[in-house]
Homo-oligomer: A and B are copies of this chain.
Amino acid sequence: MANAPHAQNLYKFDLREASFVLFEQFKLAELLSKEPYEAWGEEDVRMVLQECYRFSCEVLGPLNTVGDEEGCRVEDGQAIVPKGFKEAWDKIYEAGWKALGVAPEYDGQGAPRSVFLLAEEFITGANTSFSTYPGLAHGAAELVETFGTHEQKEKYLRKMYHGTWGGTMCLTEPDAGSDVGAVRTKAVKNADGTYSITGTKMFITAGDYDMVENIIHMVLARVEGAPAGTKGLSLFIVPKMRINADGTTGESNDVQTAKLEHKMGIRGSATAVLNFGDNGKCIGELMGGVEHAGMAQMFKMMNGARIAVGIQSLAVASSAYLNALAYAKERKQGSSIESFKDPTAPKVTIIHHPDVRRMLLDMKSRVEGIRALCVKLAMHQDRAQMLAGKDDAAAQDHQGQVELLTPLVKAYASDQAFRVCETAIQTMGGVGYTCDYGVEQYCRDSKIFSIYEGTNHIQAMDLVGRKLGQRGGANLQKFLGDVGAFCAKHKEHPKLGASVKVLQQASDAIGGNAMRLLMWSQMGRLPMVPVYANRYLEMMSETAVGWLLLDAAVIAADKIASVAEGHPDHAFYTGKIAAAVYYAKNVLPGVMSKAEMMNMEDDTALTVPEEAFASI
């Protein structure tokens, strides 16, 4: 292969957008300088984000194509990461970027989730593969923080949060992917209270690497004699290397990396097959000292991981969009449509072409809508945390929205990320298909997002099977109530009224079809629910995104009146309005159409016989 002149750093982000979404749309200032965010002022937030963005571009961005080209390999049961990753690992922990969201108790900075989320967007957008290593380590540590005994917290947390040790999440097995209950990894209790672990885990993201002295695996296993299914699962803390009584690293704990997957994307991330206890010498500690609680504990980490996948999706989609935009502003080809018959007409940059503008606006609206959805979720987390113990009912309302929005953030963001990357390639044409510009890598990397941490169908089933009915339907009612109140207030808005009315129709459609889903499950037509679950998740996500884009547009329309036309904010607010109107008139009407399709109650997918799909 010819040596493609890879860009050193492709990652792009618009910091003005971060400021808008945090402070103008979601009013972060209301939370700052108060418990538990007393250490955080507005300027701190701005500075931290600016610096984290710079760090991501300078340190992580240049390693993105390196990781893709070099990939990972196994040597003697040890995974080796691409060159430069170890140095980046050291730098990201030195700089403290992974400690932003860690509690001060564990030497972290206790930033609000909404701030932490944007920092994570930069890290994962600059280098998705790299970000999986510290990302999983952080998630594993959160699990120990939530469910571990006091001793376990003291033993593991500081080292895991600050990069001395890594961490992973080991659920999947060769015959247990989406069907977690089929886990066969075995735990046998020893006389000293530890457990001997035996089994094989596969598709373990960032499952092994040579950047740290130890990796702490969170392993789902079944204690001898435990019941079948998810109820019989327990969670174990299984270090790769034994830990001596004085905290130093001891001998091997009999965890071997058997194989790494060769994948479409995130090639710099080691997706491992791990063998535990092949030689009968793998010892684990029971998480929190409680058996059969593994599934509930893992769910905690999975929810965090699902939100993290939403952020990955947002990050990659956003940079794909901004790269396509930069190219469209720079690349000259063709003349303006008005003079298409005149061969001597001056050449224009391709952003002048209507279809290019349409693609850009399409990407912009999806990316910014998803970002608003992610930040809204994080703000609910922050408010829930702030209100806990003070106003528990209000805190529960916020937590309810977190629950409701998590499957949307994971599934809609990941589906759309692939769509946005595809559109970015299309915008750039043949050039986008080459490896020279990196959007094709974004596209390849992004395809995993709809699969890992629970496929998007699992998200859809979580939404329609659990979340819609949670708290007696209160979470959904709160969501629909908020959308309804927004529509009532702004339906006569001079600029946005027509779009707000489309939103109201979409909201009515998802309310109505929530009833239909309920009816199916109660009237003996349960299999109809999974047939339409993904569609329903998409309809609800589009409604949420349409709402948040219009909410941003209302703010922008208010503010633009007092901004001079040449001021950069004038253009910025104009863009916010454009994205909302575009989405309302080009995406939201599809919600009503999907609702009508649900009303047709087509059950062909259920009734068609297996042998009718093809004659082979």
Q: Chain A interface (Cβ within 8 Å of chain B)?
A: 1-2, 4, 12-17, 71-74, 172, 175-179, 181-182, 203, 227-232, 259-265, 322, 325-326, 329, 332-335, 337-338, 342-344, 347, 351, 353-355, 357-358, 360-361, 364, 418, 422, 425-426, 429-430, 432-436, 440, 443-444, 447-448, 450-452, 455-457, 460, 526-528, 530-531, 533-534, 568, 571-572, 574-575, 578, 581-582, 585-586, 589-590, 592-593, 596-597, 600, 602, 604-616
Alpha-carbon distance between A357 and B603 when the two chains are bound, in angstroms = 11
A585 near B602 with CB under 8 A, answer yes
A322-B616, A574-B609, A615-B572 known; A447+B430 contact, CB < 8 A? no
Which residue in B265, B354, B360, B575 is a CB contact (below 8 Å) of A530? B354
A73-B1, A179-B333, A604-B361 known; A610+B527 contact, CB < 8 A? no
A578 near B604 with CB under 8 A, answer yes
Give A19's nearest chain B residue, CB to CB.
B615
With both chains docked as a complex, state the minimum distance between the C-beta of A594 and any C-beta of chain B, in angstroms. Answer: 8
Give A337's nearest chain B residue, CB to CB.
B527
Which residue in B172, B604, B615 is a CB contact (below 8 Å) of A17? B615
9 contacts between A and B (CB under 8 A): A1-B71, A172-B430, A227-B343, A322-B614, A355-B530, A358-B530, A571-B609, A578-B607, A590-B597
A343-B230, A426-B455 known; A2+B259 contact, CB < 8 A? yes
Alpha-carbon distance between A418 and B423 when the two chains are bound, in angstroms = 12
B434 near A355 with CB under 8 A, answer no
Give A353's nearest chain B residue, CB to CB.
B530
Give A435's nearest chain B residue, CB to CB.
B262
Q: A264-B444, A364-B613, A582-B604 are in contact. List 9 more A-B contacts (CB 8 A).
A: A1-B260, A2-B259, A17-B615, A179-B347, A337-B526, A354-B530, A443-B447, A571-B609, A574-B608
Which residue in B179, B528, B605, B615 is a CB contact (below 8 Å) of A582? B605
Chain B CB within 10 Å, residue with most, of A360, A425, A602, A604: A604
Which residue in B17, B357, B571, B606 is a CB contact (below 8 Å) of A611? B571
A602 near B575 with CB under 8 A, answer no
B455 near A605 with CB under 8 A, answer no
Could you say how many copies of this chain the assembly holds? 2
Q: Report B-chain residues with C-beta under 8 Å of the C-beta of A261.
A: 2, 4, 434, 436
B175 near A333 with CB under 8 A, answer yes
With both chains docked as a complex, state the minimum distance between the C-beta of A348 and any C-beta of chain B, in angstroms. Answer: 10
Chain A at the B interface: SS class? helix
Which residue in B12, B343, B429, B433 is a CB contact (below 8 Å) of A264? B433
A575 near B177 with CB under 8 A, answer no
Alpha-carbon distance between A355 and B528 when the two chains are bound, in angstroms = 10
Chain B CB within 10 Å, residue with most, of A176, A260, A612: A612
Alpha-carbon distance between A378 and B37 when the two chains are bound, in angstroms = 68
B262 near A361 with CB under 8 A, answer no
Q: Report B-chain residues with C-beta under 8 Å of the C-beta of A615.
A: 14-17, 568, 571-572
Which residue in B227, B451, B609 is a CB contact (below 8 Å) of A426? B451
With both chains docked as a complex, state the minimum distance between the C-beta of A385 and any C-beta of chain B, in angstroms. Answer: 31
A429 near B333 with CB under 8 A, answer no
B2 near A262 with CB under 8 A, answer yes
A203 near B430 with CB under 8 A, answer yes
Q: Report B-chain residues with C-beta under 8 Å of the C-beta of A1.
A: 71-73, 260, 262
Q: Report B-chain residues with C-beta under 8 Å of the C-beta of A203.
A: 430
Give A4's nearest chain B residue, CB to CB.
B262
Q: Report B-chain residues with C-beta under 8 Å of the C-beta of A604.
A: 361, 578, 581-582, 585
Q: Report B-chain residues with C-beta under 8 Å of the C-beta of A596.
A: 589
Alpha-carbon distance between A447 and B14 when the two chains are bound, in angstroms = 28
Which residue in B182, B262, B616 is a CB contact (below 8 Å) of A347? B182
With both chains docked as a complex, state the minimum distance between the C-beta of A533 and any C-beta of chain B, in angstroms. Answer: 7
B181 near A343 with CB under 8 A, answer yes
B229 near A343 with CB under 8 A, answer yes
Q: Report B-chain residues with C-beta under 8 Å of the C-beta of A172.
A: 430
Which residue in B2, B232, B337 is a CB contact (below 8 Å) of A260? B2
Q: Report B-chain residues with C-beta under 8 Å of the C-beta of A361.
A: 604-605, 608, 613
Which residue in B430, B585, B597 is a CB contact (below 8 Å) of A452? B430
Q: Report B-chain residues with C-beta under 8 Å of the C-beta of A530.
A: 337, 353-355, 358
A231-B343, A450-B426 known; A434+B262 contact, CB < 8 A? yes
Alpha-carbon distance between A230 and B450 when the two chains are bound, in angstroms = 45
Alpha-carbon distance between A343 and B184 when the two chains are bound, in angstroms = 13
Give A230's nearest chain B residue, CB to CB.
B343
Alpha-carbon distance between A13 and B615 when the two chains are bound, in angstroms = 9
